[in-house]
Amino acid sequence: MSERVKPTALTRAIAARLSVEREQKGINQTDLAKSAGLSQPKVSRLLTGKYAFYIEHFVGICDGLGLDCAEVLATARRAAPR
């Protein structure tokens, strides 16, 4: 997984949703990174929309935030411009 995947409108919508949820829950990036099994810089890049998500990262972050992956994806799909 060393290849960098370019973000799309959908991945940016996912990042925005996850960022809002993280802030509302008062979880810092370091703690989220630990629970997701990622580094804090990786979480930062993902949640700012600079990188697209690998499914493992998406699931780990959703789990760390106590969110249902399917619901996050569904709302992001509705929010993302086509």
Q: Report pLDDT for 6.
A: 84
| Alpha carbons within 13 A on the beta-carbon side of 79 | 15
Domain topology for 9-79 = 434 Repressor (Amino-terminal Domain) (1.10.260)
Q: Report pLDDT for 3.
A: 60
Instruction: Evaluate whether 43 touches 71 at the Cβ level (below 8 Å).
Output: no
The residue ranges of every structural domain in the chain are: 9-79
Model pTM?
0.89
pLDDT tens across 1-22, in order?
Answer: 446 778 899 999 999 999 999 9
pLDDT tens across 21-35, in order?
Answer: 999 999 999 999 999
* Length of the chain as a residue count: 82
pLDDT tens across 36-77, in order?
Answer: 999 999 999 999 999 998 999 999 999 999 999 999 999 999
Report which of 23, 56, 61 is spatially closest to residue 40, judged by C-alpha positions: 61
